[in-house]
Amino acid sequence: MSAIPPAGLRTQHSGLQKVFSPTDLLLNSEHSLCPGCGEPVALRTILELIHDLGVRDRTICVAGIGCYTAFPMIMDVDVMQALHGRAPSVATGVKRVRPDAFVFTMQGDGDMISEGLQEVIHSAARGEQFTAIVFNNAVFGETGGHMTAATVLGQHTKTSVGGRNRERHGNPIKISELIAQLDGTAYVARAAVHTPSAIKLTKQYLHDAFRSQLDSKGFSLVEILTMCPTDWFVTPDQGPAFLETKLIPTYPLGVIKS
């Protein structure tokens, strides 16, 4: 078995130019999530935009409960940790007492669409001036692969063995289309992080959502489809294709309301 050369030696001999480094709002370059997970890419994109928009000093993130609950401790912005499903009401309280703050929530599909559906609907209808971000991987990731309200028909989970079945398990909820119907919403889009071009669009949609909050236009929501190879029971390299072929037919990408 050959020894791996020390890091310094490798860069010295690489002759490669550094063209990318993570934003300094990411406090270390590590995360504790699984290989192939889509959430870290989404987080990096969010933090890059906070940096680019110059709103870091007045940013307040309200985090839900899921795998991404590991993120607050590595984000150099103020974070209020909410309970599972409750981020929209907590963010409402935050934004109402700090109207000059830039406020966004991070929830997963289990958090927002299963546990806390009422919260996001009422916040949207009230036109609360924050941006709700939902990482939708169509599965309870942190508990180890159980069906959420966003699990797609046919998707195998530990509680929909053999695939989600309409008669037995009901139908998935398309949160973006649901929220877009409400009068208080200014911007709704669905993005994904499974390809470089999709990540670029994710950044564009997030930018437009953030911009609409900064212009006080109303409630904004960006649904980001993220890979969860562990709980899709595929290998990390199969994650992007799974997202493309299994999720996107139910959850088409694009701007739904602007």
How many residues would you count in the chain?
A: 258
Structure tokens at 65: 């409960």
CB of 122 to another protein, least distance (A): 4
The residues near 67 (Cβ < 8 Å, ≥ 6 apart) are 33, 34, 37, 39, 108, 141, 142
> Rounded to a whole number, what is the distance in angstroms from the first to the last CA of the chain?
56
Q: Which is nearer to another protein, 81 or 159 (CB)?
A: 81
Q: Which is nearer to another protein, 58 or 217 (CB)?
A: 58
Strand partners, 146: 140
User: Which among 155, 124, 150, 123 is positioned nearest to 138, based on CA atoms?
Assistant: 150
Q: Which is nearer to another protein, 28 or 245 (CB)?
A: 28
CB of 101 to another protein, least distance (A): 6
User: Do 79 and 25 touch, CB atoms closer than 8 A?
Assistant: no
CB of 31 to another protein, least distance (A): 12
Q: Which is nearer to another protein, 118 or 235 (CB)?
A: 118
CA separation for the pair 80, 88 (Å, rounded): 12
CB of 118 to another protein, least distance (A): 7
Cα dihedral sign, 55-60-65-67 = positive
CB of 139 to another protein, least distance (A): 22
Give the torsion through C-alpha atoms of 206, 211, 217, 220, to 10 deg. Answer: 10
CB-based burial label for 48 (10 Å; 0-12, 13-18, 19+):
middle
Give the torsion through C-alpha atoms of 122, 123, 124, 130, to 10 deg. Answer: 180
CA separation for the pair 84, 76 (Å, rounded): 22
Q: Which residues bind another protein (CB under 8 A)?
A: 27-28, 56-60, 62, 69, 72-83, 86, 88-98, 101-102, 118-119, 122
CB of 23 to another protein, least distance (A): 13
Q: Which is nearer to another protein, 34 or 117 (CB)?
A: 117
User: Do 106 and 64 touch, CB atoms closer than 8 A?
Assistant: yes
Q: Which is nearer to another protein, 92 or 230 (CB)?
A: 92
Q: Which is nearer to another protein, 100 or 167 (CB)?
A: 100
CB of 25 to another protein, least distance (A): 8
